[in-house]
């Protein structure tokens, strides 16, 4: 191992309190994973299947404790009541035995628009509360290609103040960034007090596309498996609210969306050679996702799976879950009347022929 990586490992050991084994191993496939010494980080081999019983199911309780500790106050009951009474969908309850969010029927457009407007109004209130309390919020959006992550992010940011809510979608690392600590390029974008940061893809690139496509070495992957849970625990321990979403889409629906992108000139730019290659490796990405959940689905920062075969349902469910996870109060100012404008009798407007106007085509 290089001196620079050994130095980073030593510094991390001093910070998190356990030895980081970054030595390369003979891990050529998913069945040969590194064992983990600290009890807090589950073994990859024994936790590759979600819900297999290998690890304790995470809860939102640690999240609530972090939020309450940052705010020192419980949510406004009126806000909670509004959130608990969604617009009626006119549908019967889902069949027993189905996983949550697995309904495949389309959502009525009028219902969708009405509920989206209601939830976006609440998002504005949440942003005001986050700024007022100087909270720091990170939302990580991961999932399959064409799963609808970008559409959900767009609906979240649409009504919000861009000065305190921003999207981070990083390109491939530069040559300089490849020599840095892996998490360094993401640390540079962490939120300041009062900010919300939405990561459209994140440090989990290492567990997904880099792992499957061979863009990282076995040594790099083993290091990530050991360090990622500790990195996220450090974020949460410092008071950051970390919410992780995985957008899940079926192979049939993903194929349908790929085909639509091929014929739609507005969406065609979304297809890349990497998308075409990943399309051929559905099972490999599925195994990589299961492995990732095995070591990173921790109580301090659990994964929340969004069933995304129906985009509109996925967007509403995602926004609603963010609102449910972060207690907040309504700080909207009371309506007020605008005073009359002062007279401008002494102002003479510049003649129109002295200005350049955009041609009136429509």
Q: What angle do CA 213, 215, 220 make, to 5 degrees?
A: 120
CATH topology of domain 3-25+32-84+107-332: Rossmann fold (3.40.50)
**pLDDT for the residue 6:** 57
On the question of pLDDT at 202 being above 90, the answer is yes
Segment 26-49 shows an average pLDDT of 38
Query: What's the mean pLDDT in 274-300?
Result: 91
- Checking if the pLDDT of 154 tops 80, the result is yes
Give me the helices (H) in 174-241, please.
175-178, 184-187, 209-213, 218-237
For the chain, the farthest-separated pair of C-alpha atoms sits apart, in whole angstroms, at 83
58 contacts 298 by C-beta, under 8 angstroms: yes
Average confidence score pLDDT of the chain? 80
Would you say 181 and 283 are in contact if contact means Cβ atoms under 8 Å apart? no
User: CA neighbours within 13 Å on the CB side: how many for 141?
Assistant: 26
Q: What is the pLDDT of residue 103?
A: 64
- Cα-based torsion angle of the residue sequence 105, 108, 114, 118 in order, rounded to the nearest 10 degrees: 0
pLDDT, residue 362, reads: 94
Those residues whose C-beta lies under 8 Å from the C-beta of residue 282, and which sit 6 or more positions away, are: 251
Nearest Cα to Cα of residue 52 among 43, 61, 62 = 43
The per-residue pLDDT for 297 is: 98
Lowest mean per-residue pLDDT among 78-87, 158-167, 218-227, 287-296: 78-87
Out of 71-85, 189-203, 321-335, 338-352, pick the least confident. Answer: 71-85
CA distance linking residue 321 with residue 311, whole number of Å? 15
Asked if residue 138 has pLDDT above 60, the reply is yes
Residue 174 reports pLDDT greater than 90: yes
pLDDT of residue 129: 98
Q: Which of 31-35, 195-199, 261-265 has the highest mean pLDDT?
A: 195-199
- Beta carbons of 327 and 78 less than 8 angstroms apart: no
Which of 32-46, 100-114, 150-164, 327-341 has maximum average pLDDT?
Answer: 150-164
| Strand, helix or coil for residue 300 | coil
pLDDT of residue 8: 52
Confidence of residue 77 (pLDDT cuts 50, 70, 90): very low
């Amino acid at each position: 191992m290089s001196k620079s990586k050994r130095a980073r490992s030593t510094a991390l050991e001093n910070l998190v309190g356990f030895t980081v084994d970054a030595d390369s191993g003979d891990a050529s496939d998913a069945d040969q994973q590194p064992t983990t010494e600290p009890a807090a980080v589950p073994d990859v081999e024994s936790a590759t299947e979600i819900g297999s019983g290998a690890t304790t199911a995470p809860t939102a309780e640690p999240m609530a404790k972090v939020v309450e500790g940052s705010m020192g106050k419980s949510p406004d009951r009126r806000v909670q009541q509004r959130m608990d009474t969604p617009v009626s969908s006119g549908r019967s309850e889902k069949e027993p035995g189905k996983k949550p969010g697995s309904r495949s029927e389309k959502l009525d457009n009028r219902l969708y628009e009405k509920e989206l407007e209601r939830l976006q109004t609440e998002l504005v209130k949440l942003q005001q509360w986050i700024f007022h309390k100087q909270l720091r919020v990170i939302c990580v959006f991961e999932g399959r290609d064409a799963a609808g992550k970008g559409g959900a992010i767009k609906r979240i940011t649409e009504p919000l103040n861009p000065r305190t809510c921003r999207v981070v979608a990083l390109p491939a690392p530069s040559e300089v960034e490849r020599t840095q600590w892996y998490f360094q390029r993401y640390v540079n974008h962490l939120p300041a007090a009062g900010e919300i940061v939405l990561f459209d893809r994140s440090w989990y690139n290492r567990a997904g596309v880099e792992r499957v496509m061979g863009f990282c070495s076995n040594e790099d992957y083993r290091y990530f498996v050991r360090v990622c849970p500790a990195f996220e625990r450090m974020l949460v321990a410092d008071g950051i609210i970390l919410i992780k979403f995985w957008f899940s889409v079926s192979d049939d629906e993903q194929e349908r969306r790929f085909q639509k992108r091929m014929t739609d000139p507005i969406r065609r730019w979304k297809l890349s050679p990497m998308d075409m290659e990943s399309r051929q490796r559905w099972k490999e990405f599925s195994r990589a996702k299961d492995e990732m959940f095995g070591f990173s689905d921790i109580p301090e920062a659990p994964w929340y799976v969004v069933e995304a075969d129906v985009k509109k349902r996925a967007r509403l469910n995602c926004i609603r879950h963010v609102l449910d996870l972060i207690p907040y109060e309504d700080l909207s100012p009371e309506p007020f009347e605008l005073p009359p404008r002062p007279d401008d009798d002494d102002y003479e407007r510049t003649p129109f022929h002295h200005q350049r106007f955009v041609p009136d085509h429509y």
